[in-house]
């Protein structure tokens, strides 16, 4: 463990000032090549957890770890959100015991947000917590779920209702892993990246406007630049409020992690309405456009800025229109169930311009 701790401290390319554990973040082409070295530093045995779509990549990586002289097993769960459940957590923990993994072991999460959330949660509770390394393979996981230390699984009553704050010891972001990602998943992840530009970084937003074609053509240099800047925004916001504990109230210098919720209050309601058939990033894209309407109505966002945001979302090939079934009455009902509700108010994170945002109460009563 002492070697893992010193590793956590060694390089932190982005500010994560108030997070207890500083994961080492490596963003570069062929970053996964670092995995055997990191695993060897962290433990004496390794288990890779992945999903059924990534099994052959996971096999390759476990062979590399074995070549480096460390026992390594592979556990695969079915691809998809259904695997984010307590039943699967129990199955994985039983399987880990069978591999002989002890407290000197390390878990590797290879996959999208589902695997990151699930394996991270397992790492946080198995034998009261063992180190894990996150290897995200979707844009959502690289831009969002692998950063910020949240793990979790779903209950029948709702998504992400059981979880922990448990940052990985290292995050390896390798854009070559995105080569096999279907186009729709790729674009959906870009919605979260656009969100980061809108709420925190106008220059980054302009970079996305200028380089949209090359990003969608997956030019490695542009993808790297985009991932690095996007991570910087997310980690800056998370570093100010790692446990989402700052009070939700409007404040011109707002540092609440809830700012990351822009597009998500309406986005989550749309996901629920579609019974989770609408991909998260697409729901967030529509959510950002609809929440902009509220911001324009409140007089906190200009019409021009709102148009610039919707144009970028549309140019990234993301949906912009509310589905017909999303009536006002249905949406209000779903929004009222949002787990980020405070008393009888929902706080919307709304842009106040391009590159800034704040929290505003919306009374549901």
Ligand X SMILES: NC(=O)c1ccc[n+]([C@@H]2O[C@H](COP(=O)([O-])OP(=O)(O)OC[C@H]3O[C@@H](n4cnc5c(N)ncnc54)[C@H](O)[C@@H]3O)[C@@H](O)[C@H]2O)c1
Per the annotation, the verdict on 128 as an active-site residue is yes
Nearer Cβ to ligand X (78/343):
78
Binding mask 95-114 for ligand X (x = CB under 6 A): ----------------xxxx
Calpha distance 109→135 (Å, rounded): 6
Q: How far is the CB of 192 from ligand X (least distance, A)?
A: 7
Per annotation, catalytic residue among 187, 192, 200, 254: 192
**How far is the CA of 36 from the CAs of 89, 133, 222, in angstroms?**
25, 11, 27
Q: How far is the CB of 160 from ligand X (least distance, A)?
A: 5
The reply to whether 84 sits near ligand X by the rule CB under 6 A is yes
Per the annotation, the verdict on 234 as an active-site residue is yes
The reply to whether 231 sits near ligand X by the rule CB under 6 A is no
Calpha distance 71→359 (Å, rounded): 49
**Largest interatomic CA distance in the chain:** 62
The reply to whether 202 sits near ligand X by the rule CB under 6 A is no
The reply to whether 150 sits near ligand X by the rule CB under 6 A is yes
| DSSP class per residue in 255-293 | --GGGGGTTHHHHHHHHHHTTT-S-HHHHHHHHHHHHHH
Binding mask 52-81 for ligand X (x = CB under 6 A): -xx------------------------xxx
Q: Is the dihedral of CA 155, 159, 161, 162 positive or negative?
A: positive
- The residue count for binding ligand X (CB under 6 A) is 29
The reply to whether 174 sits near ligand X by the rule CB under 6 A is no
Residue among 23, 148, 239, 351 that touches ligand X (CB under 6 A): 148
The reply to whether 185 sits near ligand X by the rule CB under 6 A is yes
Q: How far is the CB of 75 from ligand X (least distance, A)?
A: 15
Calpha distance 307→344 (Å, rounded): 31
Residue among 72, 74, 181, 354 that touches ligand X (CB under 6 A): 181
Per the annotation, the verdict on 257 as an active-site residue is yes
Calpha distance 10→20 (Å, rounded): 14
Q: How far is the CB of 312 from ligand X (least distance, A)?
A: 20
Nearer Cβ to ligand X (38/114):
114
Contact 169, 42 (CB under 8 A): yes
* Residues whose CB falls within 8 Å of the CB of residue 228, separated by 6 or more in sequence, listed in order: 27
| DSSP class per residue in 188-254 | HHHHHHHHHHHHH-HHHHHHHHHHHHHHHTT-HHHHHHHHHHHHHHHHHHHHHSTTS-S-----TT-
Residues that bind ligand X (CB under 6 A): 51, 53-54, 79-81, 84, 111-115, 117, 137-138, 140-141, 144-145, 148, 150, 159-160, 177-178, 180-181, 185, 280
Please list the active-site residues. 128, 150, 192, 234, 244, 257, 261, 264, 268, 280
């Amino acid at each position: 463990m002492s070697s893992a701790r010193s590793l956590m401290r060694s390089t932190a390319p982005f500010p994560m000032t108030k997070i207890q554990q500083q994961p080492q973040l490596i963003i570069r082409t062929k970053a996964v090549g670092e995995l055997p070295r990191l695993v060897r530093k962290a433990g004496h045995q390794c288990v890779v957890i992945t999903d059924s779509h990534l099994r052959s990549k996971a096999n390759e990586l476990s062979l590399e770890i074995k070549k480096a002289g460390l026992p390594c097993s592979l556990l695969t769960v079915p691809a998809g959100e259904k695997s984010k459940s307590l039943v699967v957590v129990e199955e994985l923990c039983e399987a880990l015991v069978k591999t002989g993994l002890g407290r000197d072991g390390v878990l590797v999460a290879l996959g999208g947000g589902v695997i990151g959330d699930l394996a991270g949660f397992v790492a946080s509770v198995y034998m009261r917590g063992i180190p894990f390394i996150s290897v995200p393979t979707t844009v959502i996981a690289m831009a969002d779920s692998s950063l910020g230390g949240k793990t979790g699984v779903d209950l029948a009553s709702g998504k992400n209702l059981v979880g922990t704050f448990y940052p990985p010891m290292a995050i390896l972001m390798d854009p070559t892993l995105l080569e096999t990602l279907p186009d729709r998943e790729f674009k959906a992840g870009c919605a979260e990246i656009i969100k980061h530009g809108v709420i925190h970084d106008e220059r980054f937003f302009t970079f996305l406007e200028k380089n949209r074609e090359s990003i969608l053509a997956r030019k490695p240099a542009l993808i790297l630049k985009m991932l690095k800047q996007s991570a910087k925004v997310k980690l800056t916001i998370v570093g100010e409020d790692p446990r989402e504990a700052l009070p939700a109230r409007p404040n011109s210098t707002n540092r609440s992690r809830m700012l990351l919720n822009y597009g998500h209050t309406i986005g989550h309601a749309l996901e629920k309405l579609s019974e989770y058939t609408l991909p998260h990033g697409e729901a967030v894209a529509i959510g950002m456009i609809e929440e902009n309407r509220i911001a324009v109505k409140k007089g906190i966002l200009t019409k021009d800025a709102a148009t610039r945001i919707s144009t970028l979302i549309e140019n990234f090939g993301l949906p912009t229109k509310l589905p017909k079934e999303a009536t006002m009455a249905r949406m209000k009902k779903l929004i009222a169930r949002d787990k980020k509700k405070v008393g009888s108010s929902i706080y919307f994170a709304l842009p106040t311009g391009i590159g800034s945002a704040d929290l505003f109460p919306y009374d549901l009563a």
